[in-house]
Structure 1
Amino acid sequence: MMALSGAARGEVSEGEEPGKPEAGTAETSAVDNGAAAPGTPVAGEAAAGEPGAASDSATDTSQVSDSSLAGFDTEMMKSRGIDPRIAEYFMEGARFSPGMSLVTLSVNGQRKGAAMARFDDKGKLCFDARFLRRAGLRMPGDNEPGAPDAKTAAGAAHTDVGGECLDFRGAWPETVVTLRPNATAVDLLVPTDALRPDAPVRADFTTGGVAALLNYDLLATGSQSGDSSTRYYSASNEFGFNAGDWIVRNRNMYSNDGTTSNFSHLYAYAQRTFVAQEAVFQGGEINVGNSIFPGPAIYGVQWLPEMALKRSTGGGTNIEGIAQTQARIEVRQAGALIYTTMVPPGPFTLSNVPLLNGSNDVEVTVIEATGSSRKFVVPAAQLNAGTLGVTPGYTLAVGKLRQLGGDVQVKPWMATGTGTWRAGRDVGITGGLMIGTQYQGAGVGVDSRLFANTTYVSMRALASNAVREGNRGAQLTGSASTTLGQGFSFNASATQETPGYRSLTDTTQDTTTDWINNHYRGQYTAGVSWSHPTFGGLSLNYSRSNLFVGETTQRITGSWGKTFRHATVSLSVEKGIGGGNVSNGNSVYLSVSVPLGKRSVRGYVNRVDGSTRLGVTYNEVVNDVVNYSLNAEGRPTEGSASGAANVSLTPYYTRLNLGASQYGTSSTSYNGTLSGGVVAHRNGVTFSPYAIGDTFGIASLGEVAGIKISTPQGSVWTDHWGQAVISSAPAYTSSRLEISTRSLPRNIDVSNAFQQISPGRGSVSYVNFDVVKVRRLLLHAVGPDGKPLARNSTVMDAEGGFLTTVLNDGTIFLPNTDAVKGMQVVDRDGKVCLLDFTLPLTQDLNAYFDEANAECKPAGAAEGGQK
C-alpha cells in the first residue's frame, strides 16, 4: 500500500514539517464512493512538493499521537463517514520501499545516471560510504590531511543500528534531499564543500556489461518461366560481443545464384569509445571513416570522432527507385555486396543501408521477378546530402589495403589523417593527408552556412600523385542545399576529375585499360522539393554521370503525394537515359490508397516502357504477429493477368516473410526471408526479432512470458524466462522502455510500467521491471445482522494497520490477498468486527479479481480471515 502511495504522490523533500492549515479550509478530494485514494491529499494536507508537504523522514509513524492529527479536519472526516485513523496513514508522504532501489541520481542539478540507493523502513535515504562514492560526495575531513574534525567524529558516531548509514545531513545541515518515488529518482542539493574534489565527472549514461550476439538475415528466391528456372540464395551474418564497453564484430555475406557462389568478408574489428576525448578507437579489418578521402578498406587501426557526442555536419540520404514486380535489390559499395532485400511492386526507399563509408559511390541493381535487371549509381556526393559528411574532430588511420571485390595486384600500406576546425560560427575547414606505398594525396574542404542558416555550401578539393603509374591529378566536389521560402528546398552537387587523378584503391588495379573505361570524368546531381498544405508534396531529382570514354548516363526521378480526407494519392516517375549495359526502365506509377483502420486498399496504374499495368493491393495488420497483403494485376495491352500474396510474421523472437507470385500462365516466383538476432548474456540466451546493434540491453520481467515491451527499435516480447532483448538503443541519449499493461496476466502487477535508459556506446544495459504476483479479491461483506457493512468503515489488518475502506453495498476490494488473515472492520462508532470468509480454491486468471462472500463477526466470536 505504501508503494502505491509513493508512486501516486510525486516528490517529497526530506526534513520538511507537516503543514497545519486551518480546519475546514480544504475539501476531501480523495473521497470516491467513500474511499480515500492512496496518495491523494486529504483535507488540510498539502500536495507533495509544495510548501507544507509531508516529510519522508521527519515523521515517525510509530510515534504519531492524536495531537499530530492537528493538520487534518477530523470533524469533517467524521461527518463524511471517514475514520480519522486514516489520517495516521496519510500523514506519511511519498516513500521508497525499504531496501535497495535503482534510482536516477542528480547532485546540484547535474545528473549522475543510475545508482543503487538504500532506504530504511521509514523510506529515508541511507548515506552509506558506497552511495557517497557514487554520488561524488564526502564527509567533512575525508579529503583533508590530518585527523577528522569534531563534526566528522559526530557524523561517524551517528549511524543506524547496522552501523552503515552516515549522518551526512547532520554533517552538512544545508543539504536538501528530494525523493521522487514516482520517477524512481533522488535529487540532492548539497554545499559545494560536500563535493569530492577528486570525484570523476560522470555523464548521464550507463557503462559496462558483457554479452555475445549473432545477427542473421537469410534470403531465398526462385522463379519458373517455361522451361527455365532460376534460384538465388543469400545469407548475411554478424557475430561478436560487447565487454567493458568494447565492441567486437565480424560480418560476412554469402550469395549463390544457382551457378556461382560468392563469399564476402566485409569486416572484423574491435572498437571502444573514449568519452573524455569524444573519440572512437577501432582496429582490425575496418573501413576508413570520417575522412576527406574516399574510405578504403584496410587491415589497421583508426581514431575518429564519436558522432553521438559530436554533432555531425551532414546527414545521410535515401536510395529511391521503382520496382515493376516483386524485385530483389542488391546494393554494392567498393566492389562488395553490402545489402540485399526484397521489395514489392512500386516505388521503394532504402533508408537503412549499412554503408561502408560516405566517400565511395553506391551501385544499386534492381532484379525483377521476370529475371530482367537494371542498374543505377548513387554518387558519393549525394550520399552526404550536400555536405562533406565529416564530423568535427580528428581522424587518424594506419594500415594495409584490403580489397573487398576480389584479388588485387598490390596491397599498399597507407596512413591518413583528417581534421576539421571551426573558422567562425558558420564556417568549418577540413584538411587531410594520405600517404601510401608509392602514393601521396592531399585534400582541403570548406563548409559554410549562409543567409541565416537557410543555405549550406561545401567545397572539396583532392590532389593525388600515383608514383607507380606516373599520374598526377585532382578531383573537385561542390555541393549546396538551400531552403527558399516555406516548404521549398533545393540541393545540387558536382564532382569533376582530371584524367590523372587516382584514389589509393585505383592504384591496385590496371589503370591503363579497365580504369579509363569505367571511371567517371564528372558526376552531377540536382534535386528540388516543395510541400504545401493544399497541393501536397512534390520532389524532383536528376543525376548525370560521364565516363572518360565519352559514355553518358542520366537518371531522373520524381514524386508527388497528397493526403485527402479518405485517401492518399501518389505519383512516381523514373527515367533512365544512356548507358550501354543499363536497362532504362522508364516508369510512371500512380496509386490511390484508402485506409480502413488496420486494413487498406490501394489501386494503381503502372506504365513501363510502353506497357501498362492496372492493379489493386489489399493489406491487413491482423495483430502484432501477423500481417499480409494480396495483389491482383492486369495488363490490358497484353491480355494477361498476375497475382501475388505476401505474409509477414513476427512470432515474438524472429521475423519471417513469405511471398509467391504468378505472372501470366507461364511465370511463377517465390521468396522468403528470415531475420533476427540472438544474445547470450549473464541470464541466459534470448532471441530477438530485430538485428542487434552496437549498444543494446536485456529487459527482465520476473519469469513472466509473452509480455509486450516497447523499445526504441520496436515492440519485443518476453520469453519463457521473462527476458527480452532491447536490440538497439541510441548511445548517450535517453530512451524509454514501456510495458504494455494489457499484455500482463491478471495476477501480475508492476510497480512501474516504464523505465528510462541512457546507455553509453558499447554498453549492455540490464533493466529489471519489478513484478509482483497478486491475487485481488472483492468481498461482499455483511455484518452480524446480515446487512451490508456500513460504507466508509475502516478495514485494518491483524496488527491494526490501515488496508482500505468499505465501499457501497458492503463491498471490500483488496488489491493483494497476502495478508488477509485476521482482518477487522471498524465502523464510525468505533465498533470492531472480524471478517470471516472462504477464499476460492483456484484463481481465475481471466478475471481482474476473485469474488467471495464474507461475514463480519463480533471480536472474539470468530478467528476471522481466510478459511
Structure 2
Amino acid sequence: MVRCRDVGGRQPDGLARPLEEGLLQWGLAVLLIQAATVTHAQPPLEFDLAFLELGGGHGGADLSVFATSNRLLPGRYVVDVFVNDVFVEKREMRFDATSDGERGSDALPCLTLPMLEEWGVHTLAFPALVLAGEPDACVNLPAAIAEARVAFDSYRHLLAVNVPQAAMKRRARGAVDPQYWERGINTARLGYQFSATRHGGSDFGQAQTRNTLYASLRGSASLGSWRLSHAASFLRGLNGRDRFQVIDAFAQRDIVPWKSRLLLGEGTTPSDIFDGFPFRGIQLGSDESMLPDSLRGYAPVIHGVAQTNAQITIRQNGFAIYNTFVPPGPFTLDDLYPTASSGDLEVTITEADGHETRFIQPYAAVPALLREGVWRYNVTLGQYRNGLSDPNPTFGMASVARGFPGELSLYGGTIAADTYQSARLGIGKNLGRLGGVAVDVSHSRSRTHLADDQIVSGRAVRVLYAKSLPDTGTDLRISGEHHFSRNYRSFDDAARVRQGAESLVLGAGRNRIEGTISQRLGEGSSLYATVGVQTHWTANVNRLYQIGYSSRVGTANVGLYGNYTPGGGVPSRWNVSLSISVPLEALWGGSSGSGRKAAPTNLTYFLSRDHENRLNQQMGVSGSAGSDGLLSYSMNATHANQGSASRSASLSYLASSGRFDASAATGPGYTQTTLAAAGGVLWSGDGLLLTQPMGETVAVATVPDAKGVHFERYPGVSTNRDGKAVIPHLNPYRINRIAIETGRLPRGVEIRNPVTEVVPTRGAVVRADFDAIVGVQAAFALIDAHGAPLPLGAMAENDEGQVLGVVGTGGLAFVGGLQKSPGSFLVRWGGADEQRCRVHYALLLSDPDDVYPYVEAVCR
C-alpha cells in the first residue's frame, strides 16, 4: 500500500509529529556521515546503538555503513588521481575486497607497478615493488614505502596517493606529464565580435548621420590532433569606406616528443630573436607553453584615456586585430588575442564626436633565458605578407637557442630571401638579483629599390633587459637598439620599402629605446610607466611617455594618469587626468547586510585636461545588478570648460550565450548609439552550443539532464536544458580546475563529483563530465512487509548503485533523484539478501516549489 501526500511549507497535521521526531535522527545520520574520514588507515568508528532506543526508538539499526569513511563495495570506478596533492590523471581503477573479509570494511584500490611508474614513483629503489610480480598484480604501497599513504574519497571519486619526496623521480615543478594531455574531441567553432555605431549631429556635416561597423569572425575546427583556424575582420570607418581582411588561416598540430608545434598556412614568426612578422607558408618550432615553469608569450597592456564613449581600434602590421568601446575616463586593455609578433601597435581612439587620437604602443618581446640543456628552435619557409600591399617576397628563416651551465644562453638565427639576407648572434645571462640581460649583434644586406639592384648593408646592436621581483611587485622591461648606419634594415622594413614605402621613414631608424615598469606600492597601490623613443637618420624623433598611479584610500579608489607625445613638426599631444571612485554605501555608512553580498554601486568623478586646453569634468554612477554582477551599467554627465555638456549611459550583460552591450551618448553637435555583441557557437556530436567568447582552448561540461547548473570562477556560464555548458579560456598543457557551485544547485539536482580537472592541449575542446543525480525529491515513511519501520542507517539506492538517501528513525527518509512517473528504488542495510528490499512508488506532484511529496510505502 502506498499513500501520497504533499509536504512542505504547509504540512498535513498527521505528518508534523513524525517529521519533528525524525529531524533529530536525520541530523544524527548526517553528522555520522560527516564525521567519517576519507583515509583507510583510521580505525573504524564504533557507535552505541543503545542511544537510539531512548525515547521509544526502534532497534535493528545497522550503522556499519558509517563506521568507515566510504563503505565502498568492490568493483571498478572512474577516479581522479592526486599524487602528493597534485592532479595527475582521471582513470578507471579496480577496487577489491579486503583479504581478511572484515565486516564493514571498504574495498581497497588496486595499485599496480605500471601505475606507480606513470605517477613518478621511483619503484626501482624499493625491493618490495621490484618483486611485485605480474604487471597487473596489486601492490601494498604503504608496506613497501615507509610513510606512504593511500586514501579514497568516494563522494568526490578522488584517490589521494602520498609518497615521500625522496621516493619520487625528479620532475620539474609545475610539470604535467604529456601522456595526460588531452587532445579533446572533434568539434567546429565560430567566435564572433560585432559592433555597430550610429553617429549623428552637426559635427558630421551635411550627412547628418554616419554609421560605423566592425565585425570579427574566427572559425576553427578540431580534428584529432589537428587544429584548423580562419580569422577575418570587416571595418567600415567614419569615411564610409569598407575594408575586409583575412587576418590568418592555418592548420596546426602538436609534435609532442619534440615539445613543438607544426603550422601550415598563415601565421606569425616568433619574436624572440628577430622581429616577428606575418607570413604564409610552413613553420615548425618549439612551443614554450609545453615546458614547465617556462615564460608565456608576452602581450602588451594598452593604457589610455577616453574623453567620451570612445571606440578603440588596434592595428598591427596593417591588420585591425582588436576593437572595443570604452566609457569616458582611463582605460586598460589587457585581453589582446595571443600573438607572437613584436610589431608595434597603432592605437586609435575615436571619440563620440568623431575626434580621433592616435599613438604607437611599442611592442618588443624580451627573449627568455633558457635552463641548462634546454633547446629552442624555429624553422619557417614561406611568403612575407602584410595588410598593406604587394609584392610579398619569399623567404626562409631559422633560429636556435640553447641554455648552458652558469645560467648562460646562446642564440642566433638567419633570414634569407632574394632581396634580403640577415644574421643575428646573441648571448643572454642571468644576473641574479640584478635581473636578466641579452645582447646581440646583427648584419643585413638588402636590395632597397624596385628600379635597380642596388645592395645596401648595415649592422645593428640590441640590448634587452628584464627584471621581475614578485616579492616587491616590481616588473621592468627595457630594450634598446642602435643602427650603425642608415642602411640597416629589418626584414619587415626591407619588404615594405620594396612595396614602395618611403625608406627614410621605415628603414632608416637610428636608435630605439623602449621601457615599461610596473611597481606595487604597498597594499592596494601601484605605479606604471612606459617610455618609447625612436630617432631616425633624418633627425626625426618619435616619442611616447605614459605614467599612471592608482591607490586605495579608505573605501575610495584614486587614480592619476598622464601621457605625452612630442609633435616632431606637429603640435605635441598630452593629457593629464584624475579619477576617484567611491562606493555609494560608504558615503552614508551603509552595508550590504547579510547573505550573498551584492555588487556595490560606485560614484565616480573624472577630471582631465589636454593639449587643446580642453578641461572636462565628469560625474557618474556605475555598478552591477544581481549577486553575480552579470548586468553592469554606467551613467555619466560631463561638463567642459567651453560650457558644453554631454551625457552617456551604457549597459552590458554577460549571459551563458554571449556578452551583449549597448551605449548611448549625446553632446553639443553629436549623438552616438552603439550596439555590440561577442560570443560563439560550438558544434560537437551532441549538437550546437551557444557560448561566451571562448578563447583558444575550452571544455564542454556535462551535468546529465541538469539545467541551470553554475560553475565557480566562470560568471554567467550555466548548463542548458541538456545539461551542457562551454567553459571558456582554459590554459593549455596545465591543470585546469572546473568546479560546480554546489550552493546554488537547481532543485532536484545532486552532484557526486562537484570538482574535476582537465589538461587540454592548445586549441583543444575537452570533456568535463560530472556525475549527477537528477529527479524529484520526496519524503518517505518506509515499513517492511511486517509493518515495522526500516532500520536507521539503511541506504536508498537506484539501480546504478547511486545513494539517493538515508533512512532515519521511524523509517523516515528524504530521497532524491526519483522519476516523476511511477518508479522504484532499492533499500539496503546489510549484505544479506534478507537485508534489502524494493520500494515501488507513484508520486502526486504539486505545483508549489516549496512543497515535497510525502509517501507512505511498504518495502518488499
TM-score (norm 1): 0.76
Q: Which residue in 1 is equivalent to 2:126?
A: none
How do residues 646-685 of structure 1 correspond to structure 2 at under 5 angstroms?
A: 646-664=650-668, 666-685=669-688
Kindly indicate whether the alpha-carbon contact (under 8 Å) linking 2:212 and 2:240 is maintained by their aligned counterparts in 1.
no
Shift of 1:437: 1.8
Q: 2:24 aligns with which of 24, 33, 43?
A: 33
Shift of 1:297: 2.1
- Amino acid in structure 1 at the alignment position of 2:265: G
The answer to whether 1:733 aligns with 2:715 is: no
Q: 1:259 aligns with which of 240, 245, 252?
A: 240
Q: 2:442 aligns with which of 462, 470, 474?
A: 462
Kindly indicate whether the alpha-carbon contact (under 8 Å) linking 1:700 and 1:767 is maintained by their aligned counterparts in 2.
yes
- Amino acid in structure 2 at the alignment position of 1:514: E
Q: 2:340 aligns with which of 326, 341, 357?
A: 357
Q: Which residue in 2 is equivalent to 1:181?
A: 154
Kindly indicate whether the alpha-carbon contact (under 8 Å) linking 1:555 and 1:575 is maintained by their aligned counterparts in 2.
yes
Q: Which residue in 2 is equivalent to 1:16?
A: none
Q: Which residue in 2 is equivalent to 1:49?
A: 39
More deviation in 256-265 or 677-686? 256-265
The answer to whether 1:493 aligns with 2:479 is: yes
How do residues 547-626 of structure 1 correspond to structure 2 at under 5 angstroms?
A: 547-580=536-569, 584-596=572-584, 597-608=599-610, 609-623=612-626, 624=628, 625-626=630-631
Kindly indicate whether the alpha-carbon contact (under 8 Å) linking 2:703 and 2:771 is maintained by their aligned counterparts in 1.
yes
Q: Which residue in 2 is equivalent to 1:703?
A: 705
Q: 2:193 aligns with which of 217, 228, 233?
A: 217
Partner Cα separation in structure 1 for residue 502 and residue 795 of structure 2: 89
Kindly indicate whether the alpha-carbon contact (under 8 Å) linking 1:797 and 1:803 is maintained by their aligned counterparts in 2.
yes
How do residues 718-797 of structure 1 correspond to structure 2 at under 5 angstroms?
A: 718-778=719-779, 794=792
Partner Cα separation in structure 1 for residue 421 and residue 556 of structure 2: 58
The answer to whether 1:514 aligns with 2:487 is: no
Secondary structure of the residue aligned to 2:252 is strand
Secondary structure of the residue aligned to 1:464 is strand
Kindly indicate whether the alpha-carbon contact (under 8 Å) linking 2:707 and 2:719 is maintained by their aligned counterparts in 1.
yes
Shift of 1:240: 1.8
Partner Cα separation in structure 1 for residue 309 and residue 179 of structure 2: 48
Partner Cα separation in structure 2 for residue 108 and residue 231 of structure 1: 59
Shift of 1:134: 8.1
Partner Cα separation in structure 1 for residue 333 and residue 347 of structure 2: 11
Identity %: 21
1:87-115 CA-to-partner distances (Å, cap 9, x unmatched) read 33334541557766432246899965122
1:151-172 CA-to-partner distances (Å, cap 9, x unmatched) read 99xx99xxxxxxxxx8756999
Q: Do the aligned partners of residues 838 and 369 (structure 1) sit closer, same or farther apart at CA in structure 2, a change above 3 Å counting?
A: same
How do residues 338-357 of structure 1 correspond to structure 2 at under 5 angstroms?
A: 338-354=321-337, 356-357=339-340
Partner Cα separation in structure 2 for residue 74 and residue 580 of structure 1: 94
Shift of 1:676: 0.7
Q: 1:321 aligns with which of 275, 286, 304?
A: 304
Shift of 1:124: 4.2
Shift of 1:126: 8.4
1:36-89 CA-to-partner distances (Å, cap 9, x unmatched) read 75586699x9844264445xxxxxxxxxxxxxx9x6555566579685633333
The answer to whether 1:431 aligns with 2:412 is: yes
Shift of 1:217: 0.9
Secondary structure of the residue aligned to 1:308 is helix
Shift of 1:667: 0.8
Shift of 1:853: 8.3
Q: Do the aligned partners of residues 525 and 687 (structure 1) sit closer, same or farther apart at CA in structure 2, a change above 3 Å counting?
A: same
Kindly indicate whether the alpha-carbon contact (under 8 Å) linking 1:264 and 1:404 is maintained by their aligned counterparts in 2.
no
Q: Which residue in 2 is equivalent to 1:5?
A: none
Partner Cα separation in structure 2 for residue 493 and residue 172 of structure 1: 55
Q: Do the aligned partners of residues 290 and 184 (structure 1) sit closer, same or farther apart at CA in structure 2, a change above 3 Å counting?
A: farther
Partner Cα separation in structure 1 for residue 84 and residue 841 of structure 2: 54
Q: 1:273 aligns with which of 254, 267, 274?
A: 254
Partner Cα separation in structure 2 for residue 598 and residue 459 of structure 1: 50
1:6-28 CA-to-partner distances (Å, cap 9, x unmatched) read xxxxxxxxxxxxxxxxxxxxxxx
- Amino acid in structure 1 at the alignment position of 2:348: T
The answer to whether 1:415 aligns with 2:406 is: no
Partner Cα separation in structure 1 for residue 85 and residue 551 of structure 2: 47
Q: Do the aligned partners of residues 390 and 508 (structure 1) sit closer, same or farther apart at CA in structure 2, a change above 3 Å counting?
A: farther
The answer to whether 1:332 aligns with 2:315 is: yes
- Amino acid in structure 2 at the alignment position of 1:405: G
Kindly indicate whether the alpha-carbon contact (under 8 Å) linking 1:245 and 1:761 is maintained by their aligned counterparts in 2.
no
Shift of 1:236: 0.9
Q: 1:689 aligns with which of 678, 689, 692?
A: 692
1:806-836 CA-to-partner distances (Å, cap 9, x unmatched) read 28xx97644566799899999xxxxx9x999
Shift of 1:123: 7.0
More deviation in 672-681 or 594-603? 594-603
Q: Do the aligned partners of residues 317 and 298 (structure 1) sit closer, same or farther apart at CA in structure 2, a change above 3 Å counting?
A: closer
Partner Cα separation in structure 2 for residue 524 and residue 554 of structure 1: 10
The answer to whether 1:297 aligns with 2:286 is: no
Q: Which residue in 1 is equivalent to 2:362?
A: 379
Q: Say what the alpha-carbon RMSD is for the aligned residues.
A: 4.4
Q: Do the aligned partners of residues 312 and 812 (structure 1) sit closer, same or farther apart at CA in structure 2, a change above 3 Å counting?
A: closer
Kindly indicate whether the alpha-carbon contact (under 8 Å) linking 2:39 and 2:69 is maintained by their aligned counterparts in 1.
no
Partner Cα separation in structure 2 for residue 182 and residue 515 of structure 1: 69
1:676-697 CA-to-partner distances (Å, cap 9, x unmatched) read 111111211111111341x222
Q: Which residue in 1 is equivalent to 2:19?
A: none
The answer to whether 1:453 aligns with 2:433 is: yes
Partner Cα separation in structure 2 for residue 574 and residue 442 of structure 1: 37
Partner Cα separation in structure 1 for residue 439 and residue 156 of structure 2: 49
Partner Cα separation in structure 2 for residue 535 and residue 627 of structure 1: 23
Q: Do the aligned partners of residues 632 and 361 (structure 1) sit closer, same or farther apart at CA in structure 2, a change above 3 Å counting?
A: same
Kindly indicate whether the alpha-carbon contact (under 8 Å) linking 2:636 and 2:649 is maintained by their aligned counterparts in 1.
yes
How do residues 631-650 of structure 1 correspond to structure 2 at under 5 angstroms?
A: 631-635=636-640, 637-650=641-654
Partner Cα separation in structure 2 for residue 431 and residue 836 of structure 1: 76
Q: 1:85 aligns with which of 61, 65, 78?
A: 61
Secondary structure of the residue aligned to 1:716 is coil
Q: 1:478 aligns with which of 438, 463, 467?
A: 463
Which structure has the greater CA radius of gyration? 1
Shift of 1:471: 0.9
Instruction: Kindly tell me the number of residue pairs found equivalent between the two proteins.
Output: 752
Structure with higher RCO (Cα < 8 A, 6+ apart): 2
Q: Which residue in 1 is equivalent to 2:14?
A: none
Secondary structure of the residue aligned to 1:266 is strand
Q: Do the aligned partners of residues 396 and 205 (structure 1) sit closer, same or farther apart at CA in structure 2, a change above 3 Å counting?
A: closer
Q: Which residue in 2 is equivalent to 1:15?
A: none
- Amino acid in structure 1 at the alignment position of 2:648: A
Q: Do the aligned partners of residues 845 and 404 (structure 1) sit closer, same or farther apart at CA in structure 2, a change above 3 Å counting?
A: farther
Partner Cα separation in structure 1 for residue 705 and residue 109 of structure 2: 30
More deviation in 213-222 or 294-303? 294-303
Shift of 1:580: 4.7
Q: 2:290 aligns with which of 286, 309, 329?
A: 309
Q: Which residue in 1 is equivalent to 2:223?
A: 243
Kindly indicate whether the alpha-carbon contact (under 8 Å) linking 2:774 and 2:818 is maintained by their aligned counterparts in 1.
no
Shift of 1:174: 6.6
Kindly indicate whether the alpha-carbon contact (under 8 Å) linking 1:95 and 1:179 is maintained by their aligned counterparts in 2.
no
Partner Cα separation in structure 2 for residue 845 and residue 745 of structure 1: 15
Q: Do the aligned partners of residues 541 and 202 (structure 1) sit closer, same or farther apart at CA in structure 2, a change above 3 Å counting?
A: closer
Q: 1:443 aligns with which of 400, 424, 430?
A: 424
Q: Do the aligned partners of residues 504 and 120 (structure 1) sit closer, same or farther apart at CA in structure 2, a change above 3 Å counting?
A: same
